Amino acid sequence: MAFEKFDLTGKTALITGAAGLLGMEHAAALLESGATIVLTDISNDALHSARSLLAQKSEGAMIRLQIMDVSKPQAVQAVAEAMTLDGLRVDILVNNAAIDPKVEGAQGVLESSRVENFPLEQWNSQIAVGLTGAFLCSQVFGTLMAKDGKGGVILNIASDLSVISPDQRLYRKEGLPEDMQPVKPVTYSVIKSGLIGLTRYLATYWAHKGVRCNALSPGGVFAGQDKVFIERLSSLIPLGRLAQKEEYRSAIQFLCSDASAYLNGQNIVIDGGRSAL
Ligand X SMILES: NC(=O)c1ccc[n+]([C@@H]2O[C@H](COP(=O)([O-])OP(=O)(O)OC[C@H]3O[C@@H](n4cnc5c(N)ncnc54)[C@H](O)[C@@H]3O)[C@@H](O)[C@H]2O)c1
> Known catalytic residues?
188
Cα separation, 11 vs 93, whole angstroms: 11
| Shortest distance in whole angstroms from residue 254 CB to ligand X | 17
CA distance 32 to 29: 5
Per CB under 6 A, the list member of 39, 90, 98, 233 interacting with ligand X is 98
Which region among 94-102, 143-151, 177-185, 249-257 touches ligand X (by CB under 6 A)? 94-102
Cα dihedral angle (32, 33, 39, 45), rounded to 10 degrees? 0
Q: Which of 17, 185, 194, 272 binds ligand X (CB under 6 A)?
A: 17
Listing from the earlier edge strand, what are the strands of the sheet with 36-41? 63-67, 36-41, 12-15, 92-95, 152-157, 211-218, 267-270
Q: Which of residues 156-195 bind ligand X (CB under 6 A)?
A: 157, 159
For residue 164, what are the contacts with CB-CB under 8 A and spacing of at least 6?
Answer: 274, 275
Residue 100 near ligand X by CB under 6 A: yes
Q: Counting contacts by CB under 6 A, is residue 129 touching ligand X?
A: yes
CA-nearest of 193, 206, 3, 188 to 93 is 206
Q: How far apart are CA 103 and CA 182, in angstroms?
A: 6
- Candidates 1-9, 90-98, 172-180, 258-266: pick the segment binding ligand X (CB under 6 A): 90-98
Interaction between residue 66 and ligand X (CB under 6 A):
no
Stretch 132-151: interaction string toward ligand X, x if CB under 6 A? -x------------------
Residue choice 99, 136, 144, 202 for contact with ligand X (CB under 6 A): 99
d(CA 269, CA 218): 6
- For residue 60, what is the DSSP state? T
Q: Indicate the residue among 22 and 65 with the shorter CB distance to ligand X.
A: 22
Positions that interact with ligand X (CB under 6 A): 16-17, 19-23, 41-43, 69-71, 96-100, 129, 133, 157, 159, 218, 220-221
